[in-house]
Amino acid sequence: MKRWWRMTALFCIVLSLSAQKSSAAHASFPSYPSFPRFPNVDDHSVIVGSSFKPVNDDLTDDEPAASIKMTHMRVRSEIAMRYARTAIICNVYNPSKKPQEATFDVLLPDTAFISGFTMTLGTETYEAYVKERKEATQIYDDAVKQGASAAHVATKARDSNDFTIKFNVEGRSNATYRLRYEELLVRRNGVYNHAINLHPGTLVPKMDVVVHIKESQQISVLRVPELRSGNEIHATEKDAQNANAVIRRGKNEREATISFTPNLEEQKRLAELYAEKTKKTADLDSSNVGFDSAEKDNEVEGLLGQFVVQYDVNQPENGEILVNDGYFVHFFAPSSLPPLSKHVVFVLDTSGSMGGNKIEQLRKAMIAILSDLNPSDYFSIVEFNSGVQVHELKEAKKALTPYYTNPDSPVGIVPVPALASPDNIASAKIIVTRLIAVGGTNIYKALDVAINIVQSRDLQKAQTNSANVSLISQYNNGTDQNKNELEPIIIFLTDGEPTVGETNRDRIITYLSERNSGPNKATLYTLAFGENADRVFLRKLSLRNDGFMRHIYEAADAALQLHDFYREVSSPLLSDVKFLYPRRQIKEGSLSQSRFRTINDGSEVAVVGRVADNINEITPQVLGLRAERDGRSRKLYEVNPTVPVTQNKDEYLPLERLWAYLTIKQLLDKSDAGDTSQSGSEDDSSEERPEKKALAIALKYSFVTSLTSLVVVRLNKTDVVEAVDVETVDDPSFSPFSASFPLKNLTYTSASTDEGLTVASSLGPVLFARATNRHNSGASFGGGPTSGAVTHKPYSPPMADYENDYDLEAYEWTSSIQVSGTDSLVLKVNGTEVVLNLSKDLVPPKSKGGDPECFNSLPLTAKVVATNEGPASVCVYISRCDAARHISVNAYQTSYCLVNDRYAGVCCPRNEIDK
């Protein structure tokens, strides 16, 4: 029988997995990354090209075909320096004689960049590479012309992107896919949240999740809450913890491994809980409450929910700078400072579309937010619909009189902002309980009035301490003589788009951004309430005014979402923060954003860059304004750290990837915040345009962004490539983040060429490399020290008595990497030499304090697990590990370690030591 897939002329998949320049894809950070939602206009496209002959008649029968079964689902996350790299590996089996289509939804945080995709169908492997979107679109069109089918995939989760993978599986055969993505975890309210969506759609016989964290500072907080539906706000220390998650901490408290392995019974229980939670917290604006149409009550098996790991590290008082292989990251999270007093202007939409549950949730949230104001804060409440009203607190004593404001009527005298005293807060709560929804949406006038309030000279004069004026003026080079000592913040909430007054969005953004300038420029945070808010417009408006946009979902917990957001921005500790680096120490053009309007309590900022050549140290300066004890007066804040620059490469620090990720994110933000009124005035082909720079970096590092897409191609049988095998996930030679295959002999549509496809990846071997350059190496899920392509330097012949000198007779492979005349082994990893000392002592060296635990162990047929007797694998000198006798140099590349920070060690299974 000629099987259908052997007759396939080509198999081309264009995964348009780009984060579209859309409302869903551009929320600032992922708060609620997993809840099924309705399709919208921002759908992503997936096409699967397949041209195969019908199944032979002799394979058909009258009985229905047995459905495809998922046999394995494994997730591996490696987190280092807040940078998370995750791989999802799934295997399915088709028990029927007939070929069948398998469909899987993969749910990712919208801040994540997909960085790789591999699929094995039977004996053939398909690999993805990143192309510019225009070229990928051409491939898409060509595939459609050749008969490929197209499907639309909706964004189905809060601040997440949902992608569907469809492919045909031959009868009685297996298929495996591996999807890799990366993201920088954001610190909010004092913790980093790493969320993994477990939505296989069915109960899986083998499912396990392993998250490995390795930080440079001690892990001070580590929590694993119960699986969540994804429709809740972030868990806190008060929430119930996951009793089935196993947490193992390293001895130095800077490392931890979290594992979760639910069996079928536990999966069924979790699926039932997921269904219950989803119904309770379903989006109120969805007619299909809780599920898409295909997700009926009897079909929710396997929708387990969201596995979340929350952690924090000890935050050095003056920040932390890490340098590795020519790149640096500067983390800064100030604490133990009094919050700056602020002036908050709440601009609240009460148009007709806010009726019902929306206005009720707004009232509830505002009551909680008003209670959180500090005694030294000031606030104003601006309500708008067709017109605008600035509320005076004396209204609380009057009877409620519903009104409808004429949009053309003047606002009148703007009341002075109110001090957040108990009496004023009580009056304000009465006012917000009376808010009613009526009329249109006059966004322009509402924000114009809010800016007028912030710019009020009466408020400035009343609150400015004359002694501090000269201090602040000096800090800002004399430009801020009228600097308001209250930090001005505008919190703007709307559920729609401008329908009254000025409705041209570009003119609104341009005019308001010009008005909101000078020493008292306010940070503008916009909250897009529900699905009808114009999130693209609101995002741009925020970016142009030093803030960000957050999507508030119209769900049962909308009030909690609003309050949770306010907590993030309500305690600024520093303002006007500048990170200054001597020009000679940093490569020109490599520095990311280095100025920040404010840094809030519980948050963290990161600055990345490239270190100049021949520099021995970095001496940055951090400047800002902090509050005096009264919270109102300000004084200068200054930190002057010094960090040495070493030439050694620490493999577990993914600083180059982190630099690329953060640089792309900020370039895309800059592009999105561009002045559209001036569009066309700049040369579209200019290499200095933010999107051009972002595209170049995305292509180099194989990141799927709004500018790039994945293209999956079928490899010819002559290609040398390893098939994806879910069983090899825990093998140190298996790299979840790298993929390599030759440039030649790829099968794809005519729109693709071999030109420009050599994309280097610092996480693993070159993505596209000729067979002669291919090496079996890569990053270990277990946190091993190596994470890159391996090349070998031709070493001098070893000394004749090499094995006898170092007691390594049984470890013949070590002779090929020992340098003649030295007591050391030398590895070449990512262009950097790693030197490991050898010992001539009869007794092998041992680590002080006992053998330390490690996670990049040598593979064994019989796997070892941690018990009460000790960890599964520990770092020991080579000659103590019997399992290392007949390994290859490549295997050692992924499992080496240092004993006492100098001797050649290996991560050895516990039961293979000292035999």
Mode of pairing for the β-strands spanning 595-600 and 617-618: unpaired
- 128 token code pair: 């993805």
Would you state the structure tokens that stand for residue 68, as one six-digit string?
Answer: 């495809």
- φ/ψ of 543, rounded to 5, equals -60, -35
pLDDT for 145: 59
For the chain, give the mean pLDDT: 74
Residue 737 carries which DSSP code? S
**pLDDT tens, residue by residue, 858-904:** 876 456 677 766 788 899 999 999 999 888 888 888 889 889 888 99
306/309 Cα distance (integer angstroms) = 10
Residue 662 pLDDT exceeds 90: yes
Buried b (16+ CB within 10 A) or exposed e, 294-333: ebeeeebbbbbbbbbbbbbbebeeebbbbbbbbbbbbbbb
Q: How confident is the model at residue 127 (pLDDT cuts 50, 70, 90)?
A: confident
Smallest CA-to-CA distance from 613 within 644, 648, 584, 592 is with 584
Residue 680: other Cβ atoms inside 10 A: 8
Among 94-98, 207-211, 522-526, name the one with the lowest average pLDDT: 94-98
Residue-level pLDDT at 763 = 23
pLDDT of residue 754 exceeding 50, the answer is: no
CB-CB neighbours of 794 under 10 Å: 4
Token output for 65:
């075909």
- Mean pLDDT confidence for 788-803: 34
Residue with the bigger pLDDT between 192 and 765: it is: 192
Question: For the segment 317-336, what is each residue's pLDDT rounded down to a tens digit?
Answer: 889 999 998 999 999 999 88
**pLDDT exceeds 60 at position 289:** no
SS (H, E, C) 272-296: HHHHHHHHHCCECCCCCCCCCCCCC
Q: Which residues pair with 332 in a beta bridge?
A: 605
Residues in the chain: 915
Q: What angle do CA 586, 620, 189 make, to 5 degrees?
A: 110
Q: Estimate the crossing angle of helix 655-672 against helix 535-543, to 10 degrees.
A: 110
Q: Compute the average pLDDT of residues 388-407.
A: 74
Burial of 292 (0-12, 13-18, 19+ CB in 10 A): middle
> How far apart are the two ends of the chain, measured CA to CA in Å?
53
Residue 507: alpha-carbon gap to chain centroid? 33
Per-residue pLDDT reduced to its tens digit, 720-746: 345 666 666 654 444 444 433 222 333
Residue 875 neighbours by CB distance under 10 Å:
23
- pLDDT 10s digits, 176-227: 888 899 999 999 999 999 999 888 878 889 999 999 999 999 999 999 998 8
Least confident of 89-103, 136-150, 356-370, 511-525: 136-150
β-pairing, 13-15 with 388-390? unpaired
Helix (H, G, I), strand (E, B) or coil at 369: helix
- Which of 74, 77, 71, 170 shows the shortest CA–CA distance to 120? 170
Amino acid 647: pLDDT: 72
Candidates 802, 851, 792; CA nearest to 822 is 802
CA distances from residue 873 to 250, 839, 883 in whole angstroms, order as listed: 12, 22, 12
User: Which one of 130-134, 392-396, 486-490, 887-891 scores highest in mean pLDDT?
Assistant: 486-490
Place of tokens 């909308």: 558
Q: pLDDT (tens digit, 9 = 90+) per residue, 547-597?
A: 999 888 777 778 888 888 898 898 999 999 999 999 999 999 999 999 999
Instruction: Give the angle subtended at the CA of 782 by the CAs of 900 and 70, to the nearest 5°.
Output: 165
pLDDT of residue 21: 35
What confidence tens digit (pLDDT) does each residue in 425-467 have? 999 999 999 999 999 999 999 999 999 999 885 555 445 444 4
pLDDT of residue 808: 85
Cβ neighbours, 10 Å, residue 506: 14
Contact 747, 854 (CB under 8 A): no
